[in-house]
Structure formats: C-alpha cells, structure tokens
C-alpha cells in the first residue's frame, strides 16, 4: 500500500498567518488553539498547496477564497510573498512541495504608476516547475484529488449524493456476474435467456415500451366495443319471422298463379313484369344490406384511423428515444475528437520545439578535469565537448521518438473516434428520416380521419345506395306501364300488400346479418383485449422478475460491501412510509441512521469508510479531523491523523 505521511508544513503570509511551521508525528498530531488562531487555516494551506483550493472546495482568486494577508482595514497587504511549503513522505521517500503567490509590479509607460499582477509559482524539491500542469501532474502521481478528498476528510464520502456513493461502493467490490446471481432462481435463468445477450437496462426499456403499446391499445378497445354495441339492432324471433315470410311468399305464389291464369293472353308481359318485380325485390334486399353495412362501418373507420395514429405515435416515441441516445453518444465522440486533435497539435509543437534545440557550446574554462580540477585544453577539451554533444543529440533523439510514439497512439485513437462519429452520424440521419416519415404519415392520417358521422347522411350520399334507389324507382316506373291484361286489380292489390309485408319481414331479417357482423367485430375486439391483457401480464411478470433479480444482485453486492466495514453498513433500498421501497444508498452506524448519530459517531463512521477506501485503493494519506474536542474516542486508522482541537491557547500549540 502506498503510504503518504505529512512530515512538516510551513506557512508564510497565508490568510493572516505571517510565519508558522509545524512538524507532524507519523501517527497522531494534535494542533490546539483558541477560535480564530488558524487551525482550519492549516488544513486550507495544505489543500491549497496540493490543489489550489481550500477545505470547502473553493479555488483561490477573485471569485474564490483569499490567500493574501489583510490589514486591519480588510484590504490585502501588498508586496508580500505568500507561500506554503510541505514535506511529504511517500512510501519512505521524502518530497518537498511549495506553492507561492508572488506579486509582479510593473510601471505603466509614461507614468510613475505601477500595476500589479499575481503569479503563482510551483516548486518540487526546491526546483521550480515550468507550468502549473507539470506541478499538478506530479501531485496526481502522488495522489489524485478525488481520492485524496475521500481518504482525508471523514465527512466527505457521506456528503456525496446517494448515486455517487453507490457507484463508489460498487467500484470497491467490483461487479457481480449476472450468471452467478441467476443460478439462485430458475426465473432469473429464464430472464437471461429472454434478454439474449442484450443489456438488462436496454431490455427493461424495451419491455416498458411494449407494455405501453399494450396499454395504448387497451385504451381504445372499450370505445370501439361501445360504438359497435350502439349500432347493434335488437334481436328478434328469427324462426317466427322466417315462418311468416314463407307463408306470405307462398300466398304471393298463389296470387301469381291466379294472375297467370287470368292473364294467359298477356303471358309474355306477365313474365317480363315478374322479372322486373324480382329485380326490384333483389335490389331492395341489396339496398337494405348496403344500408346496414354503412350503419355498421360509419364509426368503425373513424376508430380504426385513431388506432392507426396511436400506433404511429408509439413508433415515433421509440424512434425519438433511440435518436436521443445516438445524439448523446455522438456528442461524447465529438468531444473526444476535439480532445485528441488538441493532443495531436500539442505533440507536433513539442516535436518542433525539440527539433529546434541546439547544442550549447561550452567555453574552455567551464569544463574541468574531475581528477586534477584544471580546465580541459586542446584535444581533451574537444573530446569532452564531443562527448557532451553526443549525449545531447542522443537525448534529443530519444525525446523525439517518445513524442512520435505518443503521437501515433493519439492518432490511432483519433481515427477510431472519427470512424465511430461517421457511423453515429449515419444512424442519426436514418432515424431523423424515419421520424420525418412517421410524422408525415401521422399528419396525413390526421387530415384524413373519417368523420364519425351521421349514418343516415352517409346512406343518403352513398353512390351504391343512390344507384340502387334509382334502379328500384326505374323498375317501379316500368311496372306502372299499363299492359293489356285481365282484371286482376284485386289480386294485384293483395299481392302488393303481401310484397310490402315480405319487404318488411326481409328488412327485419336483415338485422340478423348486421347483428352477426357486429358480434364478430366485438368478438375480435374482445380477443384483441384478451391478447393485449395477456401480453401486458407477461411483460409485468418479466418486469417483476427483473426487479427481483436486481434486488437479489444488490443483496449479494451489499454482503460484499458491508464486509469491508466494521462500524458502518450500507443498504441500497430504503423502506417508505407507504410500505414501498426506494432505491438509494443508505448509511447506518451500528444500526442507527447516519443522520441520527452524534458527532463522534459520524467521525468514526467516516474513519471506517476511509479505512475501507484506503484498503481497496491501496493508498493512505493524512486525515484532518476538525473540532476534535467534541469527542473522546475514535477508531484506529491506518492513516496519519491530524487533530484540530479548540483550547484556551492563544496561539497554535502542538500537544501529545
């Protein structure tokens, strides 16, 4: 494990501390002092030295915290150098770090006025680094800032969001193989077979979308059934009607026979008239059937159009979710391309800078013999210079090769990212085209929704009905043409009455076909409702299995996670007052919620968490504990401890 120990810390003109230095014990160091003597300033100075921030996470500068020492008027005291210096021991090797804020004063041309510009300088082992980036790189090699804050501040981890805490805990124990969890329940094994290699999260989204489609379909079915039921005529005694029809038809046949006997001379005219009447009766039946069909279909087309529009909206919703996902992926790839392009430009500039370097020819009196201490002369001087020149060129060549190697690596990553960008661009364009097409189809469908109109009006305007009525009227006109025949007026009158009765009976019998069609439509809708309810139940079953699987997986993870700690424990599920559960990351301290424990309990909880993080990360660093006077006992740690304790001392004092 990498062990970081703070050996000493020195402040010069830092936040009111003019000059103070302290040497720390490797184990526990307690810094005492009255309020306002600078205990927290020590921690701020330490953080500013490493990361340029104070204990609250603010950076120095105009919009952050003030490093400079101020006078009684609250204004900075100028022309002072402000610095913090520390000696760290990293795995037994000491390293000295220093950060200084230096004021640079320059006269304004043509005046005696001076302007000041702050400059931050960085030193490692008393050697000034060229840039802040180089200094921060060295600090990151020792310990990254995010890891530092988690293992040096007992309150830091529990201040993070529940999601961030959960991610960190999962990172500490590593992920669990889905197959391992699935082996505990046959339903889980069936779930993995269902997803067929797809990620669980993506599969769950697909199931939710399919269930929504079922709900949308189920929402329209009751209205469709209600409309069909309203169109359905009342049922009658069909057998009685058919018997009546046959009796009337038989009487008509008798009448026809009588008329035929009396009209033998006009047999041809009679036959023609009978044919016309049959045509008229057939057309009346067709007209009745057509009217019944129109009455049934008037609202069916309207409802079907609404169902089609809803289905297209569902397709558009799924399309938009996929489009948002691809756009987010492309935004990330675009950022990566910009970053890699910047790195490539930086590599080229570094290569050019190294290429321009020239060997600095030393003068004769600079090079001296290590044996006699005399300057080299003649051939010895030339040999010494030649050796130095060779070393210079060798170093220069090596640095150029290193730059080229890194540049090739960045170029390969850049080309791969560009290829991914092109692929995503194509996918996005395809989805956008599909979306436009779906939207266009929805608009067309909306503009052409059949009006749930008046059936009588539809019948009146139907071309087929109009044609049949015209044909019936034309046949009626033909039947009115006088034909010389025997007086059969009474028979004809009776026959007309009988035919009217037949027409009325046929009209009533025609309702049976309409009832059958409506019943079939309702049966189809009921089957659709049953199928969608079954599909919805199946989806809900799989959702339940998925949630139980996730819970089982979390339970295994929780066992591993809580095995890392001695004082605290965590749960990813918190019971709600309504009896439900909420997915979160919930910290307990010896069975008590973290928020309800006292100050000592919270510090010990934080130290327990730090011990676990140090163990999993393989690194420890000094822990600063403020307000140490508030509690007596803390749990043992593998890290160096710096207690900041309020006392009656008027200046900072180190106590055992």
Digit-coded pLDDT (tens) for 132-157 = 999 999 999 999 988 898 899 998 99
Per-residue pLDDT for 113 more than 80?
A: no
Q: What is the mean pLDDT of residues 333-356?
A: 91
Domain assignment present for residue 470? The answer is yes
Percent above pLDDT 90 for the chain: 36
- Whether 235 and 306 share a structural domain: yes
Of 578 and 365, more confident: 365
- Asked if residue 270 is part of any domain, the answer here is yes
How much of the chain exceeds pLDDT 70, in percent? 95
Measured in residues, the chain has a length of 656
Of 445, 470, 495, the last residue of a domain is 445
Per-residue model confidence (pLDDT) at position 582: 57
| Residue 97 confidence (pLDDT) above 90 | yes
Shared domain for 466 and 421, answered yes or no, is no
Q: 558-583, pLDDT tens digit by residue?
A: 888 888 899 999 888 765 554 445 55
Question: When comparing pLDDT for 420 and 170, which is higher?
Answer: 420
Tens digit of pLDDT for each residue in 201-225?
Answer: 788 888 889 889 999 988 998 888 8
Write out pLDDT tens, residues 62-94: 667 888 887 777 788 888 889 999 999 999 999
Give residue-wise pLDDT tens across range 441-499. Answer: 999 988 888 777 677 888 888 888 899 889 999 888 888 875 555 677 888 888 899 89
Range scoring the smallest mean pLDDT among 10-14, 435-439, 507-511: 507-511
Whole-number CA gyration radius for the chain: 47
Q: How far apart are CA 614 and CA 152, in angstroms?
A: 10
Sign of CA dihedral 163, 166, 172, 173: negative
Question: Is residue 289, in this structure, part of any structural domain at all?
Answer: yes
Average pLDDT (120-125) is: 93
More confident residue, 514 or 486: 514
- Does 110 map to a domain? yes
Q: What mean pLDDT comes out for the span 6-14?
A: 93
**pLDDT of 458:** 81
* Residues 535 and 522 placed together within one structural domain of the fold: yes
State residue 404's pLDDT score: 92
What per-residue confidence (pLDDT) applies to 483? 56
524 and 403 share a domain? no
Sorted by sequence, the CB contacts under 8 Å of residue 485 that are 6+ apart come out as 262, 263, 265, 266, 269, 270
Same structural domain for residues 461 and 317? Answer: yes
User: Is the distance from CB of 76 to CB of 70 less than 8 angstroms?
Assistant: yes
- Look at residue 48 and tell me if it is in a domain: yes
Task: Tell whether 212 and 261 lie within a shared domain.
Answer: yes
Selected residue with higher pLDDT from 133 and 585: 133
The confidence score (pLDDT) of residue 583 equals: 58
Question: What's the pTM?
Answer: 0.49
* pLDDT at residue 104 in the model: 86
Shared domain for 261 and 278, answered yes or no, is yes
What CATH number corresponds to the domain at position 97?
A: 3.40.50.300
pLDDT at residue 574, as a whole number: 64
pLDDT reported for residue 534: 93
Q: C-alpha 478: how far from its chain's center?
A: 77
Give me the DSSP letters along 562-580: HTT-SSEEEEEEEE-TTS-
Say whether 108 sits in a helix, a strand or coil. Answer: coil
Measured CA to CA, the distance from residue 551 to residue 553 in angstroms comes to 5
Q: Are residues 254 and 267 in the same domain?
A: yes
Q: How confident is the model at residue 632 (pLDDT cuts 50, 70, 90)?
A: confident
Q: What's the pLDDT at 241?
A: 85
Statement to judge: residues 135 and 20 lie in one domain: yes
Residue 338, pLDDT > 90, answer: yes
Together in a domain, 408 and 378: yes
Q: Quick check: 246 pLDDT over 60? A: yes
Q: What is the pLDDT of residues 379-424, one digit of tens each?
A: 888 888 888 889 988 998 999 999 999 999 999 999 999 999 999 9
Residue that is last in its domain, among 523, 539, 555? 539
The whole domain housing 72 covers 2-143+621-655
Tell me if 301 is assigned to some domain.
yes
Extract the tokens encoding 416: 């791969």
Whole-number pLDDT of residue 68: 84
Question: Long-range CB contacts (< 8 A, 24+ apart) of 129-137?
Answer: 135/99, 136/51
Q: For the chain, what is the domain count?
A: 3
My answer on whether 322 and 460 are in the same domain is yes
Q: Cα torsion at 626, 630, 635, 638 (round to 10°)?
A: 20
Fill in the DSSP letter of residue 264.
Answer: G
- Closest by CA to 210, choosing from 535, 483, 598, is 535
pLDDT at 127: 93
Q: Sign of the C-alpha dihedral, residues 262, 263, 264, 270?
A: negative
Kindly indicate the confidence band of residue 23, based on its pLDDT and cuts at 50, 70 and 90: very high
Residue 569 falls inside a structural domain = no
Q: What is the pLDDT of residue 267?
A: 65
SS (H, E, C) 222-243: HHHHHHHHHHCCCCCCHHHHHH
Calpha distance 306→292 (Å, rounded): 23
More confident residue, 130 or 314: 314
Asked if residue 191 is part of any domain, the answer here is: no
Domain end position, chosen among 517, 539, 561: 539
Instruction: Using the predicted structure, report yes or no on whether residue 60 has a pLDDT greater than 90.
Output: no
Determine the pLDDT at residue 482: 58
Res 264: pLDDT: 66
Tell me, yes or no, whether 345 and 317 share the same domain: no
Long-range contacts of 64-68 (CB under 8 A, 24+ apart): 65/15, 66/15, 67/14, 67/15, 67/101, 68/13, 68/15, 68/101
Calculate ∠ Cα 482-487-491, nearest 5°: 100
């Amino acid at each position: 494990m990498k062990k970081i120990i703070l050996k000493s810390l020195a402040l010069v003109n830092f936040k009111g501390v003019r000059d103070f230095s302290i040497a720390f014990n490797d184990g526990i160091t307690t810094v005492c002092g009255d309020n306002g003597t600078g205990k927290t300033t020590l921690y701020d100075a330490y953080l500013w030295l490493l990361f340029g921030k104070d204990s609250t996470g603010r950076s120095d500068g105009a919009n952050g915290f003030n490093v400079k020492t101020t006078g009684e008027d609250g204004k900075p005291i100028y022309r002072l150098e402000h610095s913090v210096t520390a000696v760290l021991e990293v795995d037994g090797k000491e390293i000295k770090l220093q950060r200084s804020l230096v004021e640079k004063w320059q006269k304004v041309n043509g005046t005696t006025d001076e302007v000041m510009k702050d400059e931050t300088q960085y030193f490692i082992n008393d050697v000034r680094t060229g840039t802040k980036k180089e200094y921060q790189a060295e600090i990151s090699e020792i310990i990254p800032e995010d890891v530092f804050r988690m293992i040096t501040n007992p309150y830091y981890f529990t201040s993070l969001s529940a999601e961030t805490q959960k991610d960190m805990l999962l990172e500490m124990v590593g992920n669990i193989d889905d197959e391992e969890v699935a082996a505990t329940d046959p339903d889980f094994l069936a779930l993995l077979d269902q997803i067929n290699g797809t990620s669980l999260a993506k599969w769950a989204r697909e199931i939710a979308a399919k269930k929504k489609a079922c709900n949308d379909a189920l929402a329209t079915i009751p209205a469709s059934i209600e409309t069909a039921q309203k169109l359905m005529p009342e049922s009658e005694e069909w057998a009685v009607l058919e018997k009546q029809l046959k009796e009337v038809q038989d009487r008509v046949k008798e009448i026809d026979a009588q008329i035929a006997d009396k009209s033998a001379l006009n047999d041809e005219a009679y036959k023609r008239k009978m044919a016309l009447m049959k045509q008229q009766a057939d057309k009346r039946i067709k007209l009745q059937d057509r009217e019944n069909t129109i009455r049934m279909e008037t609202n069916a087309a309207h409802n079907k159009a609404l169902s089609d529009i809803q289905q297209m909206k569902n397709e558009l919703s799924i399309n938009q979710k996929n489009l948002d996902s691809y756009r987010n992926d492309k935004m990330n790839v675009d950022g990566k391309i910009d970053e890699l392009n910047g790195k490539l430009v930086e590599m080229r500039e570094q290569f050019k800078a190294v290429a321009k370097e020239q060997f600095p020819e030393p003068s004769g009196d600079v090079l001296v013999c290590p044996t006699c201490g005399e300057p080299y002369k003649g051939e010895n001087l030339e040999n010494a210079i030649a050796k130095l020149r060779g070393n210079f060129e060798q170093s220069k060549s090596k640095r150029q090769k290193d730059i080229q190697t890194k540049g090739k690596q960045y170029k390969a990553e850049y080309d791969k990212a560009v290829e991914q960008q092109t692929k995503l661009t194509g996918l996005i364009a395809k989805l956008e085209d599909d979306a436009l097409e779906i939207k266009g189809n929805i608009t067309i469908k909306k503009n052409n929704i059949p009006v749930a109109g008046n059936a009588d009006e539809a019948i009146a305007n139907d071309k087929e009905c109009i044609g049949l009525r015209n044909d019936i009227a034309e046949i009626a006109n033909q039947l009115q043409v006088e034909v010389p025949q025997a007086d059969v007026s009474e028979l004809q009158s009776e026959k007309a009455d009988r035919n009217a009765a037949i027409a009325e009976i046929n009209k009533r019998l025609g309702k049976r076909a309409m009832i059958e069609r409506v019943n079939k439509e309702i049966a189809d809708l009921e089957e659709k409702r049953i199928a969608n309810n079954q599909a919805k139940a199946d989806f809900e079953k799989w959702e339940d299995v998925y949630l139980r699987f996730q819970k089982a997986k979390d339970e295994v993870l929780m066992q591993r996670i809580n095995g890392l700690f001695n004082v605290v424990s965590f749960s990813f599920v918190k019971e709600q007052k309504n009896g439900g559960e909420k997915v979160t990351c919930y910290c307990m301290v010896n069975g008590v919620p973290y928020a309800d424990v006292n100050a000592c309990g919270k510090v010990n909880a934080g130290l327990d968490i730090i011990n676990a993080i140090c163990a999993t990360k393989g690194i420890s660093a000094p822990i600063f504990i403020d307000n140490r006077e508030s509690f007596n006992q803390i749990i043992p740690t593998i890290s160096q401890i710096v207690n900041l304790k309020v006392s009656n001392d008027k200046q900072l004092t180190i106590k055992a």
